Amino acid sequence: MAKKKETISLIDTFSEFKELKNIDRTTMVSVLEESFRSVIAKMFGTDENYDVIVNPDKGDFEIWRNREVVSDEDLTNPNLQISLSEAQKIDASYEVGEEVTDEVNFAKFGRRAILNLRQTLASKILELEKDSLYNKYIDRVGTIINAEVYQIWKKEILLLDDEGNELLLPRSEQIPSDYYRKGETARAVVARVDNRNNNPKIILSRTSPMFLQRLFELEVPEINDGLITIKRIARIPGKRAKIAVESYDDRIDPVGACVGVKGSRIHGIVRELRNENIDVINFTNNTPLFIQRALSPAKISTINLNEEEHKAEVYLKPDEVSLAIGKEGLNIKLASMLTEYTIDVFRDVDTTTEDEDIYLDEFLDEIDAWVIDAIKAIGIDTAKGVLNAPREMLIEKTDLEEETIDDVLRILAAEFE
């Protein structure tokens, strides 16, 4: 009776794993066989003389042991050999040198062997699950998925996909205004799969430029069909983004197609990104023209390029400077990110009425030397150069206090009044 209970216990164990784990039939049979063989090898030193047959449909298994018939006095290894007298109890016709195959009741190996089997099986299945999870998501890096918010922590959110796999959305990969409740569905792009010590972690992102690109691919059929190409993306998540697009078909307006009639296509993306303002511009290999488009809505007067250092000096009329810089400096930051050029903005002055310029060193009696050195360190060494540069840029690049910059501007402006 005890033997029957042990056998049923083992069968229940296999059924339990098969129902709870997402493992196909062939793999399950292989795992079961390996687990049996592992336990047998630990007990007897070898599993080579055993045949393990698993029938997952019926939920049962058979173990057969193959032993060589030897004379009673030559018996040295009962696992690999069987005495002639014992063999003839099974079948009187057995002779020395023949092979006897008899079924083994695994439960006879004892409770310790059964416990060992369960642990081995659980370990192998866990390892398989990790491999399966890694292989599934390593191929999905860069794709958008929808997952259910399961747990919200301070530094990250735990989500579950439709198969119950755990996914992580770190705070650093969330848009600042993101807010989720448990049970809600979140949309994000698979950013990467970390696999330290064979322990895969699926990291999602909503701040990645790839997330914005995939959203456009979903909303704009021409991008998905390859008629429009996204060339570059610059994002400050939750605030503003710029995207440069190009069409290989002259009949298609890439900007118009991305925006949609009355903004119908882009509005859905903006909502998903928590009202992130998105500028769509035409890409061009003409660098000055690309910089001009990237700084839109500001209108540029002239551009001086340093292609080796990827720097651009942009001159605008005084009333265009604030448009080029944008609120919180976002417009010029994004334009620099998009064009991959460091952009410096200057006020365009009328040279016909311009007085003679003065080097900053001439003002050492009114302005501290360390302040002048800080300004010269950003490439401006004349009074007019300082006065023509935007105040916000001077503060940001020199790292000087606002009051210090205002004092400098006042002193220099007084010289030309």
Domain range list for the chain: 2-135, 145-207, 210-347, 360-416
Query: Which helix or strand (DSSP H or E) is residue 246 part of?
Result: strand 240-247
Low-confidence spans in the chain with pLDDT less than 50: 1-8, 351-354
Q: Which pTM value belongs to this model?
A: 0.68
Handedness of CA 203, 206, 212, 215 (dihedral sign): positive
pLDDT at residue 3, rounded to an integer = 45
Q: Return the SS3 of 206.
A: coil
Q: Which among 186, 256, 195, 254 is positioned nearest to 225, based on CA atoms?
A: 254
How distant is the alpha carbon of residue 89 from its chain centre? 66
Question: Phi/psi at 415 (nearest 5 deg)?
Answer: -70, -25
Token output for 336: 């620099």
pLDDT at residue 353, rounded to an integer = 44
pLDDT at residue 59, rounded to an integer = 66
Helices (H) and strands (E) in the chain, counts: 15, 15
Query: Which helix or strand (DSSP H or E) is residue 314 part of?
Result: strand 311-316
Q: Which among 29, 3, 34 is positioned nearest to 14, based on CA atoms?
A: 29
Residues contacting residue 124 through CB under 8 Å, at least 6 positions apart: 31, 34, 35
pLDDT at residue 5, rounded to an integer = 45
Cα 171 from Cα 206, distance rounded (Å):
10
> In terms of DSSP bridges, do strands 156-160 and 81-83 run parallel, antiparallel, or are they unpaired?
unpaired
CATH architecture of 145-207: Beta Barrel (2.40)
Cα 111 from Cα 60, distance rounded (Å):
18
Topology match between the domains 2-135 and 210-347: no
CATH architecture of 2-135: 2-Layer Sandwich (3.30)
pLDDT at residue 243, rounded to an integer = 97
The CATH superfamily holding the domain 210-347 is K homology (KH) domain (3.30.300.20)
Cα 194 from Cα 139, distance rounded (Å):
13
